[in-house]
Amino acid sequence: MTVEHKSIEELRSCGVVKLRDKDMYALWVKTACGNMTSRQFRKLSEITENYARGYLLFTTRQIPIIPFIHSRDVEKVQEELSTVYLILDRCGPTVRGINVCYDDKVCPYAVTDGLSLGEKLDNFFYAPLSHKVKIGVAGCPRDCIVSRVLTDIGFVGVGRDGTKGYDVYYGGRLGVNPFVGQKVAESLNETESVRLVQNFFDFMNQEGKPGERAADLIKRLGFDRVQQELNKNLRERAILEPIKCKTRLKSKETDKIILRIRATCGEVNADQLRKIADIADKYGLGFVHFAVRGAPEIPGVDKNHLEAIREELGRVGMQILDTGIDNLQSCFGSYCTESNVAPQPLLRKIEKLAEELGINDLNIKISASGCPNSCGIAHLNDIGFMGVVEPEVDAGKCNGCELCLAVCKRKAIRMVNDVAMIDKENCRNCGQCITVCPANAIAEKRRGFAVLVGGREGEDTRLGETIAQFLSEGEALKVTERALRLLQEKRSDMGGIIDKIGIERVKQFLLPAQDSVSSKV
């Protein structure tokens, strides 16, 4: 690939994403059903050392992203990846690699063999479709890949009346228009599941408009019409040759655990990558799983080896994720072209804060995103943060070009007498209108962190509610400290606390502006 001869959008569709720094890109590397072999891991380590800045990111997309690859090295890196049978994933309006958790040979909670279905559905990665499409398979209702929100079509393994199958959720997404997927089918077998996805692709080709995703079809055409189209002829077999996952096991693992490794903000350096690969070979099954929350996972580990592994990880500055709060995940942060704030410094301070407070509860989930696109899944935590910037229009400078209308995903801008007017209630403060304005007529009024609380994954998936905006890092830390104390006191997730005492009382307790208000809840 010659970077210089392709547009930014063309590059994004091939997994090469422009960063803020001149001539610097991030490469999105595709996984096979969320897994990579230790050999592939070692190759990633070499690439980060030789072509990047010595580290990569474990992301919510269940793939590694290598930032800071110079344009002149993009082709070389692709050649290096191909030597271990790796290709690039995609970004933008195109089909993404499949999201899959563990199958029933690895995970004790798995109801179905999710890898089997995932191998079939991964064929759709090669389907020519100019819409953003994410597909996910979770082996049980715990839904560790959060398929109900993070995928346009999510399959969740269930068992009913002695029969195993998949419930199907349609329309999930985050970003400025978040949506929890709606159930469109129950207890489908693999044949029916594959046919449903084929129906979806046919439907999008026939009815989809530019820029639309699954959730948009529900909004425009109605749930009943969408459900009817997806459930047509489900017993007709789609002709697909499964893409074999090299990490697929032949027999069930017993008396073994899935080892989780803390990787704050998803950042793992080259030495750490090599050590993880070594541990996977020595103590595990020879592969590593990419989890949604950015913590590398090694399945098939004997509990008797935990202390030896702990010592080996300590030599490269890593820890087993078995104390403190859950892994703190973020997005690219400040080096992303759309980021409004840097979430990594905030999350690292939050991690230290949790340690100082002596909190030891892995069920507490916190993450942050640099902008409202929420690539750091800010909506799905007890407390989440997003970088926001408030736009303000200078009517005297507006030339009526309407470029801001085209980039606003919320349709919160309209023209009045050839001047842009922003609906502040509908605006999500992403800042894209500021970036695109050629006349500098839309300027930044203020920026900071938005705070969301009460998000949750699993059977009772829910999106967090925004309780404050434009907070400084210091104010965000104050909110976090109060939230941690509240979670510790109530011994419940934030969603449960909201259900019990109401969002207004939670806001009253958490917001720094309410220092004069009693903190008793």
Distance (Å, rounded) from C-alpha 27 to C-alpha 53? 13
In a domain, 498, yes or no: yes
- Name residue 228's amino acid: Q
Assigned token pair, 452: 């969301």
In a domain, 435, yes or no: yes
Averaged pLDDT, 265-284: 97
Using the structure block, give the residue that is written with the tokens 């709606």. Answer: 182
In a domain, 324, yes or no: no
Q: 272 with 337, same domain? A: no
Phi and psi, residue 133, nearest 5°: -135, 125
Of 230, 260, 283, the residue at which a domain comes to its end is: 230
Alpha helices (H) along 260-338: 270-283, 306-314
| The dihedral formed by the CA atoms of 14, 15, 19 and 23, expressed in degrees to the nearest 10 | -50
Q: What is the CA radius of gyration of the chain?
A: 23
Of 201, 230, 259, the residue at which a domain comes to its end is: 230
pLDDT at 518 exceeding the cut of 60: no
Q: 255 with 217, same domain? A: no
Phi and psi, residue 166, nearest 5°: -130, 130
Distance (Å, rounded) from C-alpha 450 to C-alpha 365? 16
Q: 322-341 pLDDT, tens per residue? A: 999 999 999 988 899 999 99
Confidence of residue 200 (pLDDT cuts 50, 70, 90): very high
In a domain, 215, yes or no: yes
Q: 371 with 462, same domain? A: yes
In a domain, 237, yes or no: no
In a domain, 306, yes or no: yes
Q: 35 with 117, same domain? A: no
pTM > 0.85: yes or no: yes
Distance (Å, rounded) from C-alpha 292 to C-alpha 406? 31
Of 173, 200, 230, the residue at which a domain comes to its end is: 230
Distance (Å, rounded) from C-alpha 450 to C-alpha 462? 18
According to DSSP, the β-strands at 64-70 and 296-301 are: unpaired
Q: 485 with 387, same domain? A: yes
Q: 357-403 pLDDT, tens per residue? A: 999 999 999 999 999 999 999 999 999 999 999 999 999 999 999 99
Residue-level pLDDT at 274: 98
Distance (Å, rounded) from C-alpha 278 to C-alpha 481? 37
In a domain, 48, yes or no: yes
Report percent pLDDT > 90 for the chain: 87
Confidence of residue 151 (pLDDT cuts 50, 70, 90): very high
Q: 369 with 500, same domain? A: yes
Using CA atoms, how far residue 295 sits from 266, 289, 290, 391, in Å, is 7, 9, 7, 35
Averaged pLDDT, 337-347: 96
What's the domain count of the chain?
Answer: 3
Q: 256 with 375, same domain? A: no
CB hemisphere CA count around 179 (13 angstroms): 20
CB hemisphere CA count around 187 (13 angstroms): 6
Q: 220 with 279, same domain? A: no
Q: 115 with 74, same domain? A: no
pLDDT at 280 exceeding the cut of 90: yes
Task: Give the H/E segment covering residue 150.
Answer: helix 147-150
Task: Give the H/E segment covering residue 42.
Answer: helix 38-51
**What average pLDDT is seen over the chain?**
93
Provide the 8-state DSSP code for 98: P
Q: Find residue 301's DSSP bridge partners.
A: 257
Q: Which residues contact 231 (CB under 8 A, 6 or more apart)?
A: 184, 185, 196, 199
Assigned token pair, 212: 């639309």
Evaluate whether 94 touches 102 at the Cβ level (below 8 Å): no
Distance between the two ends of the chain, CA-based, in angstroms?
58
Confidence of residue 521 (pLDDT cuts 50, 70, 90): very low
Q: 439-457 pLDDT, tens per residue? A: 999 999 999 999 999 999 9
According to DSSP, the β-strands at 64-70 and 99-100 are: unpaired
pLDDT at 2 exceeding the cut of 70: no
Residue-level pLDDT at 513: 61
Q: 261 with 408, same domain? A: no
In a domain, 323, yes or no: no
* Residue-range definition of the domain harbouring residue 128: 99-230
Evaluate whether 77 touches 26 at the Cβ level (below 8 Å): no
Q: 249-274 pLDDT, tens per residue? A: 666 767 899 999 999 999 999 999 99
Q: 307 with 337, same domain? A: no
The CATH number for 65's domain is: 3.90.480.20
Confidence of residue 6 (pLDDT cuts 50, 70, 90): confident
Cβ atoms within 10 Å, residue 250? 5
Distance (Å, rounded) from C-alpha 51 to C-alpha 339? 24
Q: 270 with 295, same domain? A: yes
Q: 92-104 pLDDT, tens per residue? A: 899 999 999 998 8
Provide the 8-state DSSP code for 330: -
Distance (Å, rounded) from C-alpha 18 to C-alpha 351? 29
Q: Which of 1-15, 120-134, 276-290, 344-358 has the lowest mean pLDDT?
A: 1-15
SS3 content of the chain, % helix, strand, coil (to 5): 35, 25, 40
Using CA atoms, how far residue 289 sits from 37, 148, 248, 299, in Å, is 9, 20, 12, 8
The CATH number for 181's domain is: 3.30.413.10
pLDDT at 520 exceeding the cut of 70: no
pLDDT at 516 exceeding the cut of 70: no
